[in-house]
Structure 1
Amino acid sequence: MRPRIRGGRSTVLAALLSLALAAPITAAQALDSPAGAAAGATATDGADRTHPDRQPHQYEVTGPATPAARTALAATGVSIDEVHARSVVITADRTQAGTLRQLGYQVRQLPDLPAASPATPAAPGARVKDFPRGYTGYHTYAEATKEIDTLVAKYPAILSKQVIGTSHEGRDILALKLSKNVAKDENEPEVLFTAHQHAREHLTVEMALYLLGELTSKYGSDPRVTKILDSREIWIVPDLNPDGGEYDIASGSFRSWRKNRQPNAGSSEVGTDLNRNWDFKWGCCNGSSDDPGDETYRGASPASAPEVQVVSKFVRSRIVGGTQQIKAAIDFHTYSELVLWPFGFTNDPTGPGMTQDEHDTFATLGKKMAATNGYTPEQSSELYITDGAIDDWLWGDQKIFAYTFEMYPSSGHGGFYPKDSVIAKETARNREAVLQFLETADCVYRVIGKEGQYCKGR
């Protein structure tokens, strides 16, 4: 089949060709082990993944060694999963991989995870509603909701649940509030944690559940946790993409699904990449795709995805008396073990609307948190350009100090699908970083010693 080169990308692909031809054809760094882009099952609902050439796999692409080269690669519509010295790992279909080979890159398909069998056999044609064997420690949407309801019932004085909206398929999107006087809207700094924008990144739901369990169970016994809940209002949105997450496991084998499950008008393709759909610099800078079939499809318009609309509306609802009460935020993703901060749409270290002090605050706190969990700290665009991302929107539109944590693993070791045996260790690994983040939230500028200048009277 002829590789598809889509309309509107001629300039980007020309740049990619020139970068590809200039790149060495041998990788400077071997992968530790095959990364897991499990495509053991074929999607059967909708035309988006029914053809073998459209099923996602992971590939190692040799050559891209600079942010510009990686940005040109990402502009073809693939998602970049790992970045190495002179190679990257991408998720793409075989047609896209063919396009990259035609452009001069050495592209090697990595082994898929073995096709996993369901933990509980289902009747022929029935949808599986649990993770495969070896992964049942992960929570389905129903299991996570049940655990949340249990915690709310157990700790009603410090934990409450709100349904802030619904997904495309009608699943509740929840916001959990943690605070000493949880029923009152007090004049306290607020912090937001979000998870699971990308369907296959199930470890992020476990991170949100870990925070809920840790902060509730340690209140009154751990002095740091107690002080934080006495002086902060914490919001956790544990599952931004419940439809995609359920679809990813519904067949009994992982589908390596990234997007939501919203149909795209005029196309048989399904889904929008939620983290390219936020209404700030949307589609501005070759940091997302305009093709509904691509991994990084940005949607028909800014905030066209219902899940993005729900969380955007919630964040704006925290503006009280003209002031945004949410001071800081972390959005959890997998994988690559990174702490990232804005901007993603530009290589400029400050960018439009960001002062040097603001940049220094982002970088200092990012490095401080990374020192506790062993992640690599950097501005998002040091990897490659993205546009329409949540962190850029939270800062650029709402002036919230917003970070992305890319969780375990750093490379290989299961990729998007590490076994459930890592959950406890890899969620607890971020405990200290989160506590420091919460402690800093009342005046983030404190990390650069300028609280007197920016936080007077707070």
Structure 2
Amino acid sequence: MRMRTTKRGRRKASAAAILALALAVPLGAQAIASPSDSTGSDRPAATAEQDAGKARQYEVADIGTAPERTRLARTGVAIDEVGKDTVVITAGKAEAAELRDKGYELTARPAPGERSAKAAAPGDYHSYDEMNTAVDGFVEQYPDLLKKEVIGTSHEGRDIIAVKLSADVAEDRDKPEVLFTHNMHAREHLTVEMALYTLEEFAGGYGTDERVTKMLDERELWIIPSVNPDGKVFDQDSGEFKMWRKNREPNEGSSAVGTDLNRNWPYEWGCCGGSSDNPSSETYRGPSAGSAKETKVVQDFVLSRVVGGEQQITAHIDFHTYGELILWPYGFTYDETAPGLSQDDRDAHAAVGTTMADSNGYTAEQSSELYITDGTINDWMWADQGIFSYTFEMYPGSGSPDGFYPPGSVIDRETSRNKDAQLILLENADCMYRSIGKEAEYCGS
């Protein structure tokens, strides 16, 4: 029997606990979101607080509709969680004071170090170095199925890696390709655990798990475990979580550090009040579209998969925390359809997204049903490359105290919870329109 790697006392949950979670359908949250079109001045005081790990979460009362959430997010704070009539934001003290001055009712939530003993410690998760060691170990264990590539480096010079997983891993076959990206936002460490789980589970299941075997025979899967390694190291490696979201590139002419990588993508960048032009903001979109080095590395990798004029990647998941959601494009408009996204395109996104959500108990919806975002990876993937693209917001759901830092004891449960959803996407990746009964129209014979 194969033994899954465990770490620092992590334990597996019972099947009953997994089923109970899968049956729960939360209202949700969106870690990718939190637009702002601030034209205000730089806020170095807030930035200093964030660099020192002083940003924290606040619950904001009487916010119940998408337009209300969009108006709040346009102040530049990060909306982390969406409930029925409340939201949870991340803000520094100065930003919180500004919101109270604007009439918002804020209640501070306990910081990670102020919670019960159940709360996560940085050592509950693989560090960046431990992540690379684990990946190297999997590649050594499964050399016929896994291949690691360095696809670029971060601002501070750390390797950004992609791991190919396929039964023909040494060859570039003409098969549908699927991409999973993780850890675009620094504090979302559970997503790195998701990547490591998938590598081990799928490679280890080849030859014994019928669905996994079929997919590795018929697909090529690419996994990028950490898009934002500098931010991950900054948030984790000091031994105290810092609630850091962005990358770690300084902003010229400002004391503020970092760009929100999921507002920096070059499609409808800064178009619609779905990001901030303030370098101090949690959702700062950067000085220009695609300006962040990490964005460019992943973008170039995706473009490198165009062979003979055809994009080989057909489907994509960008893993975030938290909210237990599956989201699809577009984020920049409330409309279900828009230029480049027909009704059939939307319906196929929704059909596969809903089926995946049925398998893991998440809520499926268009990204903008929460609030407007622009410059996101999902919108770029679809509009620029025709790749069906989803965001998975992982555990916890709305109302949990665990937030971005759930305890290590839930990692195995919450990563394995997504196995069926991943397989559903892989199984549909050869023709996503099959999900709406239009395979012949769009995919030919």
Q: TM-score, normalized by length of structure 1? A: 0.84
The amino acid across from 1:107 in the alignment is L
Q: Aligned with 2:156: secondary structure?
A: coil
CA distance in 1, matches of 2:151, 2:336: 34
Decide whether the 8 Å contact of 2:265 with 2:376 is kept in 1. yes
Q: How does 1:115-154 map to 2 (within 5 A)?
A: 134-154=121-141
Which residue is 1:287 aligned to?
Answer: 274
SS at match of 1:313: helix
Change (3 A) 1:81 1:133: closer
SS at match of 2:57: strand
Q: Is the 8 A contact 1:60 1:109 kept in 2?
A: yes
CA shift for structure 1 position 251 = 2.6
SS at match of 2:89: strand
The yes-or-no answer on 1:65 pairing with 2:64 is yes
Question: Residues 140 and 231 of structure 1: is their aligned pair in 2 closer, same or farther, counting only changes over 3 Å?
Answer: same
Q: 2:230 and 2:291 mapped to 1: Cα distance?
A: 16
Q: How far, CA to CA, are the matches of 2:48 and 2:73 in structure 1?
A: 20
Query: Which AA in structure 2 matches 1:358?
Result: D
Say whether the 8 Å CA contact 2:53–2:244 is kept in structure 1: no
1:53–1:95 CA contact under 8 A, matched in 2:
no
In structure 2, C-alpha distance between the alignment counterparts of 1:340 and 1:376, rounded to whole Å: 8
Q: Please give the alpha-carbon distance, in whole angstroms, between the structure 2 residues aligned to 1:53 and 1:187.
A: 49
* 1:445 aligns to 2:445 (yes or no): no
- TM-score between both structures, scaled by the size of structure 2: 0.87
The separation in 2 between residues aligned to 1:210 and 1:312, in whole angstroms, is 24
> Per-residue deviation at 1:106?
1.2
Please point out which of 355, 365, 370 is paired with 1:368.
355
Structure 1: distance between partners of 2:63 and 2:170: 51
Alpha carbons 1:115, 1:253 under 8 Å: kept: no
2: distance between equivalents of 1:136 and 1:208?
A: 17
Classify the secondary structure of the residue corresponding to 1:192: strand
C-alpha displacement of 1:414: 1.1
Aligned-pair CA distance for 1:143 = 0.5
Q: Is the 8 A contact 1:208 1:238 kept in 2?
A: yes
Q: Deviations over 1:188-244 (max 9, x none)?
A: 000000000000000000001111001100001111111100010110001000000
Correspondence for 2:443: 455
- What is the CA–CA distance in structure 2 between the aligned matches of 1:54 and 1:231, rounded to whole Å? 46
Q: Match for 2:412: what amino acid? A: A
Per-residue CA deviation, residues 11-69 of structure 1 (Å, 9 max, x unaligned), is xxxxxxxxxxxxxxxxxxxx99xxxxxxxxxxxxx993248999311111112211111
Q: Distance in 2 between matches of 1:113 and 1:54?
A: 11
Q: Secondary structure at the match of 1:402?
A: strand
Paired with 1:209 and 1:252, the residues of 2 have a C-alpha distance of 21
Q: CA–CA distance in 2 between the matches of 1:381 and 1:438?
A: 25
- 1:428 maps to 416
Q: 1:113 Cα shift?
A: 2.3
**The residue matched to 1:425 in structure 2 has which SS?**
helix
Q: Structure 2: how far apart are the matches of 1:349 and 1:329?
A: 19
Tell me which residue corresponds to 1:310: 297
Provide the residue aligned with 2:73 in structure 1: 74
Aligned-residue offset at 1:352 = 1.6
2:260 is the alignment partner of 1:261: no
Q: Using the TM superposition, give the Cα deviation of residue 252 of structure 1 relative to its aligned residue in structure 2, in angstroms.
A: 1.8
Report the AA paired with residue 362 of structure 1.
H
Give the superposition deviation at 1:87: 1.1
State the match for 2:24 in structure 1.
none
Which amino acid in 1 is paired with 2:101? Q
Indicate conservation of the 8 Å contact 2:259/2:285, yes or no: yes
Kindly report which structure 2 residues correspond to 1:397-412, keeping only aligned pairs within 5 A, or say none.
Answer: 397-411=384-398, 412=400
Q: Secondary structure at the match of 1:284?
A: coil
Q: Distance in 2 between matches of 1:444 and 1:450?
A: 9
Structure with higher Rg: it is 1
- After TM superposition, where is structure 1 displaced by more than 3 Å over at least 4 residues in a row? 50-54, 132-135
Tell me the equivalent position of 2:108: 109
Matches within 5 A, 1:76-95: 76-95=75-94
Q: 2:309 aligns with which of 292, 311, 322?
A: 322
* 419-428 vs 346-355, greater mean Cα deviation: 346-355
Secondary structure, counterpart of 1:61 in structure 2: strand
After superposition, the Cα gap between the structure-2 partners of 1:345 and 1:169, relative to the gap in structure 1 and judged at 3 Å, is same
Among candidates 168, 173, 183, match of residue 155 of structure 2: 168
Residue 417 of structure 1 is matched in structure 2 by 405
How many Å apart are 1:413 and its aligned residue?
3.2
- Alignment root-mean-square deviation, CA: 2.0
Tell me the amino acid that sits aligned with residue 48 of structure 1: T
- The residue type equivalent to 2:432 in the other structure is V
1:123 corresponds in structure 2 to none
SS in 1 for 2:424: helix
Give ranges in structure 2 of 5+ residues lacking alignment: 1-26, 29-44
- The counterpart of 1:274, out of the listed 261, 272, 279, is 261
The answer as to whether partners of 1:204 and 1:332 remain within 8 angstroms in 2 is yes
Q: Does 1:245 align with 2:228?
A: no
Counterpart code for 1:160: K
Q: Tell me, in whole angstroms, the C-alpha distance in 2 between the residues paired with 1:50 and 1:448.
A: 49
Distance 1:264 1:134, change over 3 A: closer
In structure 1, the partner of 2:3 is none
- Asked if the contact 2:49/2:92 (under 8 Å) is kept, the reply is no
Is the contact made by 1:370 and 1:433 (CA closer than 8 Å) also made in structure 2? yes
Query: Which residue does 1:158 correspond to in 2?
Result: 145
**Any idea what the Cα deviations from partners look like across 1:249-277, whole Å, max 9, x if unmatched?**
23321100000000100011110000000
Q: Which residue of 2 aligns with 1:36?
A: none
Q: 1-side partners of 2:255 and 2:63: how far apart?
A: 32
What's the secondary structure of 1:88's corresponding residue?
A: strand
State how far apart, in whole Å, the 2-side matches of 1:277 and 1:89 are. 23
Q: What amino acid does structure 2 have at the position aligned with 1:78?
A: V
Cα gap change, 1:47 to 1:268, in 2 (>3 Å): farther
- Deviations 1:317-362, CA, capped at 9 Å, x for gaps: 0011111100000000000000000000000101221110011001
CA contact (8 A) 1:54 1:94 kept: no
Q: Distance in 1 between matches of 2:65 and 2:124?
A: 38
Report whether the alignment pairs 1:183 with 2:170. yes
